[in-house]
Amino acid sequence: MTQRGKFITVEGTEGVGKTTNLEYIRNWLQHNKIEFLSTREPGGTPLAEQLRGLLLQPRDEPVDQTAELLMVFAARAQHLNQVILPALEQGIWVLCDRFTDATYAYQGGGRQMDSGIIARLETLVQGDLRPDAVILLDVPVAVGLARAKGRGVLDRFEQEDIAFFERVRGTYRERAQGNPAYHLVDAGQALPQVQAELDKVLVQLKGRWLP
């Protein structure tokens, strides 16, 4: 019987370096001859990518928090059933740029929505599926925002204030506390040091999962 693939997510506040470091992780997996699929949330299927566009687009109309939360989970249900679960069932590892931790951090922490409601939607959409490992890239909010601003036009989330992102970061850090599935990496260091830390995490995971 094929062994189920491993599900790794990469999380962090704005401009933390996910895009940059996901490229490093992809190269590492390729180098280690591990079959994997790289995807992202919100998004990962044509329908879910359309929902991503709706979520990120700045707009004059205020976006209702519940509408935002349901769009996030609608995209996730589609992505999970069309892409993530079929890959895991075939033994393929899935590397995902953000997942439900982002919902706890942004909608729960940032928007201060009830985490119990998020947990109920998580169970509805995912059943008992949770990431096997969460790599949390952590930098002080001001550092991440300065990096994100360097890239130009800001999306709807990037236009939030510092207090919003402090709550996002605080929620991520709380979730990582004492949870062995989380690997907190100090992404405020120079890139070679960040990637040396990532390398240690990946070697540890490979040793645990592919003895």
Smallest distance, ligand T5A to C-beta of residue 94, A: 14
How remote is the C-alpha of 189 from its chain's centroid?
A: 20
Closest CB to ligand T5A among residues 29, 194: 194
Closest CB to ligand T5A among residues 16, 202: 16
Closest CB to ligand T5A among residues 41, 138: 41
Contacts 24+ apart (CB under 8 A), 55-59: 55/156, 56/155, 56/156, 56/157, 57/155, 57/156, 58/154, 58/155, 58/156, 58/159, 59/156
Closest CB to ligand T5A among residues 70, 210: 70
What is the rounded CA–CA span in Å between residue 158 and residue 124? 29
Tally the C-alpha atoms within 13 A of residue 123's C-alpha that lie toward its C-beta. Answer: 5
Smallest distance, ligand T5A to C-beta of residue 180, A: 23
Smallest distance, ligand T5A to C-beta of residue 189, A: 6
Smallest distance, ligand T5A to C-beta of residue 141, A: 12
Smallest distance, ligand T5A to C-beta of residue 177, A: 20
Closest CB to ligand T5A among residues 38, 209: 38
Give phi and psi for 174, each to the nearest 5. Answer: -60, -45
**For residue 102, which of 137, 132, 129 has the smallest C-alpha distance?**
137
Tally the C-alpha atoms within 13 A of residue 51's C-alpha that lie toward its C-beta. Answer: 22
Residues that bind ligand T5A in the complex, under the rule CB under 6 A: 12, 14-20, 41-42, 56, 72, 97-98, 102-103, 106-107, 147-148, 150, 157-158, 187, 190-191, 194
Cα four-point dihedral sign 92, 85, 182, 1: negative
